[in-house]
Amino acid sequence: MSFKRMIHAVETHSGEPMRVITGGVPNIPGDTVYEQMKWLEKNDDQLRKLMLREPRGYPPLCCNLIVPPKHPHAAAGFIVMEQVEYPVMSGGNTISVATVLLETGMIPMQEPVTEFGLESPAGLIGIRAECRNGKVKNVTFENVPAFAAHLDAKIDVPELGTVTVDVGWGGMFYVIADVRQFDWLELVPEQGAEIARVSSLILRSAQDQLRVEHPDYPGIGITISQLSGPTANPAADRKNAVTMASGPVDFANPATWTGSIDRCPCGTGTCARMATLHAKGELALNQQFRHEGVLGTIYTGELVRKTKVGLYDAVVPTVGGQSWITGYSTHVLDPEDPFTEGFTMGDLWA
């Protein structure tokens, strides 16, 4: 039997489920991975929808496509696909992609440390993987520069009133609110639905009221929200819950006040948080920052040097964490399947 598509993938998680496509996608044109991402978005968005929507996907799932690198110092390239966008960078997905490349032998593993370049749409990402007995025990990546776009901004949020937020770039623009502004809310899995509700309202309000602009990526706005707070874990410095949109938020429709909580501590969110804390004088260069996710797992970050992004004062962050392979899969599209882009349902999706 012939199929319209046959896609091979490795299933991983770092808390957050992250699928990595290793085969079945034809060559994508473009002189950079960024150009390849834009081509894919315009010409084959079916791939993203097919792999992330039901029946092959579900709201929290992220997906990555490994592509040949264009940068001379990269061993591989990758394109990140999420439910509502193609982010130019994702930290947790970077950790998962590096793990897959090494543990499947696509890149030779050197113990105790393997170093290589990984080309994201945002540019070259430096990878340092700690390896033992054929397993990747930790991946630390040096990210693109991060910066604060807004600090202590006041926004008006339906249902919540005036909320104080920061906005930081860590590979995506995050609106970040201290959870202590909401005395009924804790960053625990049991309050996941309320975390998503509050976060989605903050996200839409920030999108409407706060202007952001990245010099290298015109048109990219605030697409993701983060609640930040203290932690009771002595191995961590702060705790966070990042909520990814699964559709547009409509204030007139409470059914859209939702999203999917990032199950991992969020790599680019950690970078954005470190950048805003540094801009406030609360995090120094070369100071370890241990960021706990909602499941209790931890990514460890550090700001290694200062730089500039256009007119913004910026910092170069590193983030380290671990990902685990959970399975190997082959996904097909039957020629008679009427749902050629998958489907969503209002019980789970915005």
Q: What is the DSSP letter of 179?
A: G
Q: What is the DSSP letter of 171?
A: S
The strand pair at 222-229 and 238-244 is best described as antiparallel
Alpha helices (H) along the chain: 33-43, 45-52, 91-103, 192-209, 267-279
Q: Which of 14, 63, 90, 323 is catalytic?
A: 90
Helix, strand, coil percent values for the chain (each to nearest 5): 20, 40, 40
**225 annotated active-site:** no
Tokens coding 206: 């920030």
Tokens coding 63: 């997906």
Choose among 344, 348, 334, 261: nearest CA to 53: 344
The CB density around residue 82, as the number of other CB atoms within 10 Å, is 23
Residue 47's beta-bridge partner residues? none
Residue with tokens 């190997």: 328
Task: Return the SS3 of 199.
Answer: helix
Choose among 312, 327, 95: nearest CA to 213: 312
Do 129 and 141 form a contact (C-beta atoms < 8 A)?
no
The strand pair at 238-244 and 289-292 is best described as parallel
Q: Which of 96, 266, 271, 323 is catalytic?
A: 266
Do 129 and 114 form a contact (C-beta atoms < 8 A)?
yes
**63 annotated active-site:** no
Catalytically active residues, by annotation:
90, 266
